[in-house]
Amino acid sequence: MVKNRQGKMLAVQVYGQSDAPVVMFSNSLGTDHQMWQLQVKALEAHYKVVTYDSRGHGQSDVISSSTLQNLGEDVIDILDALDIEKAHFCGISMGGMIALWLGIYQPSRFKSITVANSAAKIWTSEGWNARAASVEANGLADLVTSTHTRWFSDAFDYQHNALAQQTIQSLADTQAQGYANACRALATADLREQIADIAIATLMIAGSADPVTTVADAEFMQQKIAGSQLVVLDASHLSNIEQADEFSQKLIKFIQYTQ
C-alpha cells in the first residue's frame, strides 16, 4: 500500500526484474489491476512491471472530490514511493486519459505513454454526472449486466474467457461511491486543446469495434500529438483482453523503439 499526497492508501503491485526499465499500467473505469495480468506475464521477464488500483477501485481507498489531476498525481506519488525516476506508462480508457495528463503535465517522469482505447474527451459531462448519480442511488448492478456489450465485441467469446469474466466481476466488486467519483472526474476532464503540448513518445491503441472511444478519437489524438503512432486492433473497448497477445506485442515493440 502506498500513501498518496492526500494521505489515502493506493494498492500497488510490482512484478518482474528489479533493475530493468519500468512499465506501469493503469486500469479502466470499474476494473482493477488484474485486468493487466496477461501483459504482466508478457513483460515481466525483461521489465519491472508496476500495476495499481486507481482510487476508488480494487483495494485502493475511495477518495471524494476526485479530478483527473488527482488521478495523475496518484501515479507520481506511486513512482516517488517506489523510488522510480522514469517509467513507460500505459493506461486504458480512464487510464488512457491519465496517460495524456501525465504526458502534458509530468513529461520528465516518463519515457513514453501508451493511450489505449481512450480519448482526449470521453463522452459528455452530462452523461457522466447522470451516471454518477444513478450509481450512487442504485448501485452498479444494471451496468454489470450490460457491460459486455461495451467492453467486448460480438466476435469475442467473453463468456468462456477467464480474464474477461474476472474483469466483469471486478466491476461488480467496485464500490459504488468509488465508481461515481471517477465518473465525476471524467465529467470535467477535457484535454483536447492541451494534448498538442505532448512532446514525449506516444502510442495510441484503438479498437476497430470500440463504441466508447472510437478509432476517430484515436486519429484525432494522433493528429494533435506530433510524432505519435496509432495501432488499430480487431477488438472493442478492452482491447488488451480481447486481443491480449497482439496488444502486448505492439506495446513491447513501441517500448523497445523508445528506449
Q: What is the DSSP letter of 111?
A: E
Question: Considering the entire predicted model, what is its pTM?
Answer: 0.97
Residue closest to 97 by CA, chosen among 70, 64, 57: 70
- Give the residue from 253, 254, 247, 258 showing the smallest Cα distance to 40: 247
Q: What string of pLDDT tens digits covers the 259 residues of the chain?
A: 999 999 999 999 999 999 999 999 999 999 999 999 999 999 999 999 999 999 999 999 999 989 999 999 999 999 999 999 999 999 999 999 999 999 999 999 999 999 999 999 999 999 999 999 999 999 999 999 999 999 999 999 999 999 999 999 999 999 999 999 999 999 999 999 999 999 999 999 999 999 999 999 999 999 999 999 999 999 999 999 999 999 999 999 999 998 7
Cβ contact 221:119 at 8 Å: yes
CATH number for region 2-258: 3.40.50.1820
